[in-house]
Structure 1
Amino acid sequence: MSQPPPRRGGPDDRAVIEALQQAAYARNREQLGVEPLPLLADYASLLASHEFWLLDGAAAPRGLLVLEKRPKDLLIWSVAASPVAQGQGVGTRLLDFAEVRARQLNRSTLRLYTGEKLIRNIAWYERHGYAVEEREVLADRVLIHMVKTIS
């Protein structure tokens, strides 16, 4: 039985989106030693400028994909699975959907970034075809920028 695709989220979903992000990124906070960038965001502004895609579950969303359409690529701004759904393929479904969305938007390049300390995340993205493109040193963290070209 096929699973429904993600649904487009909007301003009415803001509280659910923020709660999902807080729960999903809690482990990253511990590993990074700083607040993950998605938790520092102003979601009222992001909802106006980015695409939000939710994978619904029985009681609450299981996952969230946030995309930023840019002139030459599609940025995966956030991919998050709720703690109860982690390890169940939610992240993979969201990455697959990002590729579908990139094709719909006529983009052949997907980009994302993650924290350098998040070794498991980097390896997971590499298993999904992403390659390290750049290492960016910020005042409080190091970001690893990754890229994937799709046909």
Structure 2
Amino acid sequence: MNRPPRRGGPDDRLAIEALQQAAYARNRARLGVEPLPLLADYARLFDTHEFWVLDGVTAPRGLLVLEKRPKDLLVWSVAVSPVAQGQGVGNRLLEFAETRARELRRWKLRLYTGEKLVENIAWYQRHGYAIEGREVLEDRTIVHMLKTIDKNTGGIS
């Protein structure tokens, strides 16, 4: 299954919400709070975010949610179905985020993750993201990360 992600829409909402719940379930215990992507109103997000779905045989294997902002592209969520974890789905989604950033002429990719999710932070660092800063919220600390795309060569810097 090496098909590229397809653009998701409101008709995919139930499957997207189910995938998000399944993918983020293990983070709930680690964080001690509900993961931020599970607090969102998905009906409204379809108006402001791009949803990219990697389909499986019976359900989505992965989901990438992107927010096009004036100076960057925010990787708002990378979610992989528990049955597809360890199969390169997350890697493919991050690669697609870079492709989409180039298409949109956004040379900076940003994302955030929970400070307690040290494996996620290390995974993003292996993909070229650097810690940009930390933000202390009322109930959690989030780590902001940045990756810059070299617009002159099309490569990543």
- TM-score, scaled relative to structure 1: 0.98
Shift of 1:150: 1.1
Partner of 1:38: 37
Extract structure 1 runs of 4+ deviating beyond 2 A. Answer: none
Secondary structure of the residue aligned to 2:60 is coil
Q: Distance in 2 between matches of 1:4 and 1:86?
A: 17
1:116 matches 2:115: yes
Partner of 2:100: 101
Q: Distance in 2 between matches of 1:120 and 1:30?
A: 14
Aligned residues: 150
Partner of 1:17: 16
- TM-score, scaled relative to structure 2: 0.94
Q: Distance in 2 between matches of 1:14 and 1:47?
A: 9
Secondary structure of the residue aligned to 1:63 is strand
Secondary structure of the residue aligned to 1:62 is strand
Shift of 1:81: 0.2
| Identity value in percent | 77
Gaps of 5+ in 1: none
**What is the 5 A alignment of 1:43-54?**
43-54=42-53
**What is the 5 A alignment of 1:1-150?**
3-150=2-149
Aligned residue identity for 2:91: T
Secondary structure of the residue aligned to 1:25 is helix
Q: Distance in 1 between matches of 2:142 and 2:55?
A: 30
Q: Residue deviations 1:67-99, cap 9 Å, x none? A: 000000000000000000011100000000000
Aligned residue identity for 1:12: D
Gaps of 5+ in 2: 151-157
Aligned residue identity for 1:86: Q
Q: Distance in 2 between matches of 1:68 and 1:131?
A: 19
Shift of 1:146: 0.1
Shift of 1:48: 1.1
Q: Distance in 2 between matches of 1:82 and 1:47?
A: 20
RMSD: 0.7
